[in-house]
Homo-oligomer: A and B are copies of this chain.
Amino acid sequence: MKEENDVYAFGVDIGGTTVKLGLFDESGSVLEKWEIPTRKENGGENILPDVAKSILAKMDQKGITTREVRGIGVGAPGAVDEEGTMVGGAVNLGWSVLNIPKIMSQYVDIPVKANNDANVAALGEMWQGGGKGYSNMVAVTLGTGVGGGIIVGGKILTGATGAGGEIGHIHLEDEETECCGCKKKGCLEQYASATGIVRLAKRRLAKDDAYSILRDGEVTAKTVFDAVKAGDKVAVEIAEQFGEYLGKGLAAVAAVVNPEVFVIGGGVSKAGTILLSFVEPAFQKYVFYPCANAQFKLATLGNDAGIYGAAALVLK
């Protein structure tokens, strides 16, 4: 039986292919989750109306009234300022500059908050995932790129232009000759992302003829860590290089924001705790001693971190 004082929230994670949605109760449990396609045509003009319609349909289906919904949180792929404006638009969605709460308010009479998807995922991991129990946290997403989200005193550090926590673009390597996606050379992302690990692996394999099972097929971040688990020496060298870059980068982050915990997620983190065993020693090598007690945890919410964090934007 639903009580008069029930309070719900919706968490929305807008991606380039699908929009993930979740219905949460105020304790942070997800009651239902579903997806709708991201319609990017015509400058992505349908995306937010589609989200609003889907939420209204779910409320109708569940018999939830507007008054019972505390808010809708939205994570979107791009820089989002404190007012929920996508200051640089969102290339992946076809969006130019727009204000998410303002557009949503045309369709639903419910408060809306928005933030960058990586920041929102970080908040989700702090609320119900690998960072649960902490309030000063750095989330590190090792996927196609290296993303980050910084939580200070339980709140997202958005930054002046919504680029807080973009730790993948810390410069670490003066000798790099290839360009990062950001057009600079030597960013953390060039070594610690899935493609970065492949870059390190290819360079190592090209260096000499040392035996490695990695020579037998396609090299991916997964095959590298699988080979590490199988005791492949060359793969271990590659993972050490990866750990050296990531540990050094996170030591720099620690000297700036002095977190209690780093929560490592994204596709690369599926390698599991063995990944941390390469990062933590390098971190200790470079970290300023008062920041050395930072814990390392794996993210636990996977692809749901975004909807959890989006709901946390309005529930916390």
Binding site for B on A (CB under 8 A): 79, 88, 136, 148, 150, 152, 157-171, 182-184, 187, 248, 251-253, 255-260, 285-286, 288-291, 293-294
Rounded to whole Å, the gap between the CB of A235 and the closest CB of chain B is 23
Across the interface, A169 reaches (CB within 8 A) one of B163, B168, B288, namely B288
A-B contacts, 18 listed (Cβ < 8 Å): A157-B157, A157-B258, A158-B258, A159-B257, A159-B258, A160-B259, A161-B290, A162-B258, A163-B290, A164-B258, A165-B256, A166-B256, A166-B258, A169-B255, A170-B255, A171-B286, A183-B289, A184-B286
- In the complex, what residues of B have CB within 8 A of residue A79's CB? 290
A sample of 18 more A-B contacts (CB under 8 A), given A136-B159, A161-B293, is A88-B290, A160-B258, A160-B260, A160-B293, A161-B290, A161-B291, A163-B255, A166-B255, A166-B256, A166-B258, A167-B255, A168-B255, A169-B255, A170-B252, A171-B252, A184-B288, A252-B256, A256-B257
- In the complex, what residues of B have CB within 8 A of residue A165's CB? 256, 258
- In the complex, what residues of B have CB within 8 A of residue A257's CB? 150, 157, 159, 164, 256-257
Kindly report which residue of chain B lies nearest to residue A289, judged by CB atoms: B182
- In the complex, what residues of B have CB within 8 A of residue A150's CB? 256-257
Kindly report which residue of chain B lies nearest to residue A180, judged by CB atoms: B288
Kindly report which residue of chain B lies nearest to residue A260, judged by CB atoms: B160
Copy total for this chain:
2
Give complex CA distance A256, B168 in Å.
Answer: 9
- CB within 8 Å for A256 and B288 given contacts A136-B160, A157-B152, A294-B160: no
Rounded to whole Å, the gap between the CB of A217 and the closest CB of chain B is 33
Rounded to whole Å, the gap between the CB of A181 and the closest CB of chain B is 11
Are A288 and B255 interface neighbours, CB within 8 A?
Answer: no
- In the complex, what residues of B have CB within 8 A of residue A260's CB? 160
Give complex CA distance A183, B285 in Å.
Answer: 11
Across the interface, A256 reaches (CB within 8 A) one of B170, B290, B293, B294, namely B170
Across the interface, A166 reaches (CB within 8 A) one of B167, B168, B248, B290, namely B290
Give complex CA distance A166, B162 in Å.
Answer: 23
Are A253 and B251 interface neighbours, CB within 8 A?
Answer: no
Kindly report which residue of chain B lies nearest to residue A184, judged by CB atoms: B286
Across the interface, A248 reaches (CB within 8 A) one of B157, B171, B288, namely B171
Give complex CA distance A168, B288 in Å.
Answer: 9
Q: Which of A79, A160, A256, A260 has the most CB of B within 10 A?
A: A256
Kindly report which residue of chain B lies nearest to residue A186, judged by CB atoms: B286
- In the complex, what residues of B have CB within 8 A of residue A259's CB? 159-160
- In the complex, what residues of B have CB within 8 A of residue A148's CB? 256
Kindly report which residue of chain B lies nearest to residue A286, judged by CB atoms: B171
Rounded to whole Å, the gap between the CB of A83 and the closest CB of chain B is 13
Rounded to whole Å, the gap between the CB of A192 and the closest CB of chain B is 14
Give complex CA distance A253, B159 in Å.
Answer: 11
Are B288 and A182 interface neighbours, CB within 8 A?
Answer: yes
